Structure 1
Amino acid sequence: MQLRPTRVLDLVLNVIVAAALGWAVTRWAYSSFPAITMFAGASLLPVAAIETALGFVIKAKIADQHVGDGPHELHPINVARAAALAKASLQVGSIAAGAWLGFLLWAFPQRASVSAAEADIPGAVVGLLAGSALVAAALWLEFCCRAPEDPTDDSATT
């Protein structure tokens, strides 16, 4: 089985479904929610930063052909693990962004009549941006984990 790049359509569907569920849950249970802080929204930003940096490291190792099981080389299983991390983060980021979007779709129109909604909007916007940043970082990491094209070995075919 071959691991394929994540389809953008799958991520868009995650966002749409999570936004619908987020809106419905917020509409139903907003009064029992705790206050939304900036920290709650920003919780995915450190993961996005780590995955971005990891992408640069892996891309450099692959470009320098330092992938293998020798000293100072990046073991191929670690590249596969990073690709799996990227795949999982794409799901988490798109679902989180969708959930925050659903929250915002409910809270933004309510801000005039519900004072708590006005106070919760900045944290939710940060959450939407953090989920989106995780998706972007995971797409970058997934791209960086791709194997380079195999060079054709003309001498082997003759």
Structure 2
Amino acid sequence: MTPSRAPMAPTRPQNLLAVGLLAVVVGNLLTRLFYADIPSLPIAAAVVLGVLGLAELAGGFVLRNRIERRNDAPPVDPLLAARALLVARASAYAGSAVAGLWVGLLVHTLPDAGTVTAASADSVTGGIGLACALVLVGAALWLERCCRAPDDPESERRPE
């Protein structure tokens, strides 16, 4: 008896949303408890996920071109595609969690941003971090989509 090989289901947006909402609660709680004790947040901490997202976006285009064999591209090793899929899935969940943490920070800092200098600077960093985390989530979902095998025209034919 051979095990059935069901295709891996794509990442469900509601799962990403659930992770993000949980991270909002945790991020807001941690910010309320420890905000006075932490130093100012560097913008570099916010930009890292955006850079990773851009790399995954570029990787998705390259992988898609190779899977579809455009421009005489070499074929894709199935293990490479599987690894790219795992990276995409992990990045989507990590980006969702970090986006939630940034939202938790923003919920705490934005109300004071007009009067407190540190809250203003951290709100800018939090906004950049949120945008970069969302770039990572979007790029990860794109990379995951690019890992799909093209439809086999032979499998669509019906026997006559």
What TM-score comes out, normalization by structure 1 length?
0.89
Q: CA deviation at 1:157?
A: 4.2
Shift of the alpha carbon at 1:32?
1.3
* Distance in 1, Cα, partners of 2:99 & 2:33: 19
Shift of 1:97: 0.5
Cross-structure match for 1:87: 89
Q: What displacement does 1:155 show?
A: 8.5
Alignment of 1:124 with 2:111, yes or no, is no
Query: For 1:8 and 1:82, how far apart are their aligned partners in 2?
Result: 19
What runs of 5+ residues in structure 1 fail to find an aligned partner?
A: none
**Cα pair distance change 1:85/1:154, threshold 3 Å:** closer
TM superposition outliers: structure 1 runs of 4+ over 3 Å: 153-158
Q: 1:54 aligns with which of 20, 35, 59?
A: 59
CA distance, structure 1, for counterparts of residue 100 and residue 76 of structure 2: 35
- Report the alpha carbon displacement of residue 111 of structure 1 after superposing the two structures with TM: 2.2
Shift of 1:144: 0.3
How many residue pairs were aligned? Answer: 154
Relative to the length of structure 2, the TM-score reads 0.88
CA RMSD between the two structures: 2.2
SS of equivalent residue, structure 1 residue 2: coil
Flag structure 2 segments of 5+ consecutive residues without an equivalent: 1-5
Percent identity, please. 36
TM-fit CA distance, 1:65: 7.2
Paired amino acid for 2:58: A
